[in-house]
A and B are shown apart, each in its own frame.
Chain A
Amino acid sequence: MHIIPLFVAIPLGSAFLVSLLGKRVKRFSDSLSNLATFSLFFISLVSIFLVRNQGILVYKVGGWIPPIGISMVMDGLTSFMLVTVNLIAFLVTIYSISYMEKYTAKDKFYTLFLLMLAGMNGVIITGDMFNLFVFLEIAAISSYALVAFGTEHEELEASFKYAVMGCLASSFILLGIALLYSFTSTLNMADISRTLTERGDNKIIFFVSTLFLMGFGLKAALVPFHWWLPDAHPSAPAPISAMLSGVLIKVLGIYALVRVLFNVLGLGEMKSILYILMILGTISMVVGALLALGQKDFKRLLAYSSISQIGYIIFAFGLGTPLGFLGALFHLFNHSTFKSLLFLNSGAVVYATGNRDLEKMGGLSQKMPVTGTTSLIASMSISGIPPFSGFWSKLIIIIAALQARQFVLAFIAILVSIITLAYYLKVQKLAFFGKLRKKWEGVKEVPFPMKLSMVILSIICLAGGLLLLPGISEVFLETARDALLAGKEYAALVFGAL
């Protein structure tokens, strides 16, 4: 039970130790950060078993009893998100041992990366509204600095736009928290939920939920607020693109939105909010897929594809049925693995050849077999081809949509899936298959750490369907879904476990 604050303490401590001693001792930054992320991944696996055995766990920071003190809550949804985040972080740290040799200030990179990881872990485990805001800002500010890491022309411009939009989103979230505090006079999530049940609804809850939808939706790149993403994600170095697109928009945007709307405000049954989520999700799916068809830059195409897949997840959350939640959570896990794998592949291509333009590449899989094979596995998985993991999650989402009688939207989802297959086939044909051009005769395969993390991620893509087997899915996915379905009983569970 005392391992809960370690999720925040270990990355913070390692970040500042790397900053202090990184230049004095050789290879210190690499080994310490890899050790830190490996231990975090191990502790997150332990936490699944703890939640399975003991139910919901509540930790009082500093010994102060909530609602006076800050509490950290670990239930099924928390441990699910923790495993996702720390797995991707561990594999990306292995990858960046050799990728970041091309940039100059490697220990500053590790400092910022570990700070971003500490912020993300803090958002997941906290049980207090203002603490959520503080950790959200820590993660966001570190990501603004990491996008501008190479300090070339386009990276600075993309980082400035991203920072202005992110700052505006945080102001909306803070305004929502201020209004919620003025109505309920407490900041603890379980206590807010209990006070709202006692006092009954009020008109102000609609305004607050609109503010939260705008703020968290901007961080998650829902469609009216998506236009920072195609500039920011391609300009970052490849491991950071994998972290941003694979984990950050899910933790800061989708997890926080779902936790606040369904558990704290208790709007899981209100038809209007669910309908808005479904419409926004569908528009995101369609816009992302159509804009991705015409792209020539490898990483920009992957960024538009992210917008489309996030639309799938929000659409499934908007359905409101238990099968819909299961599909959304499974697709969230799958998307982090295959989108990170695709971004790491693009990083390997940039490391070997030095450009990102699809029309100038060709036939690279003859010289770089590992990159080509893993990229083929990831593309087939994201388009939904049968035995890979993406097929199962999209199938569950479409079946849930049909069960909830949304026939038109389910048909649109199937259409978008076919368009996804189309543009990923285009990427594969232009970049990896075909004739090898003369100027790429001398490329070599990428070094060993990069190959290792890409191979491990592709194995998870292949075996992802196994998560739906009855024994494993109870432990991993269904506890997460039950935590969301509980709605306002979250408060009773938390106070019972104090």
Chain B
Amino acid sequence: MANKLINSNNKGMTLIVKTITRLTVGLILLFGIYIVLHGHLTPGGGFAGGVIIALSFIHLMLAFGKEVALKKLSQSMASFFESLGAILFILIAILGFLGGYFLFNFLNKGEAFHLFSAGMIPLANIAICFKVGAGLFAVLVGLVLLKIGKKE
């Protein structure tokens, strides 16, 4: 009977992993957003922050099973965010034509070392974060959803 208490829901991992996941997955998401937004001041930027945000969703999927994770971010929403991120990035690049060149930094540059400075670089970081986060999550969901069986 003690065995039944440990694993009350048969999907996913043991009770210890589920409790820790509930506590930390929000903090991981917040940490990823911090790294993205401070990409022009400290090391990191769009790609590293995007990977950490994708990891928080994957953590949810590993600990609780794929139905819970897919309820939070379904497959079509991941595909939508991925294309949205890429289109935002190209839009920022084409808007640089207003300043004269492709990918020109045309917004106000502000003062150095403050959060709202450096023109369009934070916006580009946010666009890349959408694309990378959604893309990595979609790759793992695609690998998990395939049923492995012997066919000929």
User: Which residues of A are interface residues toward B (Cβ below 8 A)?
Assistant: 2, 5, 9, 12-13, 16-17, 19-20, 59-63
**Contact of B94 with A61 in the complex, beta carbons under 8 Å:** no
- Majority secondary structure of chain A interface residues (helix, strand, loop or mixed): helix
B79 at the interface (CB under 8 A from A): yes
Is A2 within 8 A of B83, CB to CB?
Answer: no
Q: Are A12 and B86 in contact (CB under 8 A)?
A: yes
Q: Is the CB of B96 within 8 A of A62?
A: yes
Tell whether A16 pairs with B83 under 8 Å between CB atoms, given A9-B93, A62-B96, A63-B99.
yes
CB distance from A494 to the nearest CB of B (A): 17
Residue of A nearest to B105 (CB): A62
Q: Report the bound CA distance from A19 to B135 in whole Å.
A: 13
* B97: interface (CB < 8 Å): yes
Contact partners of A19 in chain B: CB under 8 A: 79, 82-83
Residue contact A61 to B101, C-beta cutoff 8 Å: yes
Q: Which of B83, B93, B103, B105 contacts A20 (CB 8 A)?
A: B83
Q: Say yes or no: B102 contacts A9, CB within 8 Å.
A: yes
Contact of B101 among A9, A13, A17, A63 (CB under 8 A): A63
In the complex, B104 has a CB within 8 A of chain A:
yes
Inter-chain CA distance A9–B95, complex, in Å, is 12
Chain A residues contacting B96 (CB-CB under 8 Å) are 62
25 CB contacts below 8 A, A to B, read: A5-B102, A9-B90, A9-B93, A9-B94, A9-B102, A12-B86, A13-B87, A13-B94, A16-B83, A17-B83, A17-B87, A19-B79, A20-B84, A59-B101, A59-B102, A60-B101, A61-B101, A62-B96, A62-B101, A62-B103, A62-B105, A63-B99, A63-B101, A63-B104, A63-B105
Return chain A residues, CB-CB under 8 Å to B84.
Answer: 20
Q: Which residues of B contact A (CB under 8 A)?
A: 79-80, 82-84, 86-87, 90, 93-94, 96-97, 99-105
Which secondary structure characterizes the binding site on chain B?
A: helix
Give the complex CA separation of A20 and B77 in angstroms: 11
Residues of A within 8 Å of B97, CB to CB, are 2
CA A215 to CA B33, docked complex, whole Å: 39
Q: Which residues of A contact B83 (CB under 8 A)?
A: 16-17, 19-20
Please, which residue of chain B has its CB at the minimum distance from the CB of A17? Answer: B87
Instruction: For A17, list chain B residues within 8 Å (CB).
Output: 83, 87
- State whether A62 touches B90 (Cβ < 8 A): no
In the complex, given contacts A59-B101, A61-B101, what are 10 additional A-B residue pairs having Cβ atoms less than 8 angstroms apart?
A: A5-B102, A9-B93, A9-B102, A17-B87, A20-B80, A20-B83, A59-B102, A61-B102, A62-B103, A63-B101
| Chain B proximity of A375: nearest CB distance (Å) | 36
Contact B103 A61 (CB under 8 A): yes
In the complex, how many angstroms separate the beta carbon of B103 from the nearest chain A beta carbon?
4
Contact of A16 among B87, B101, B104 (CB under 8 A): B87
Question: With the chains together, A466 CA to B98 CA distance in Å?
Answer: 42
Q: Within 8 Å CB of B99, what residues of A?
A: 63
Q: How far is the CB of B114 from chain A (nearest CB, A)?
A: 22
CA A62 to CA B79, docked complex, whole Å: 30
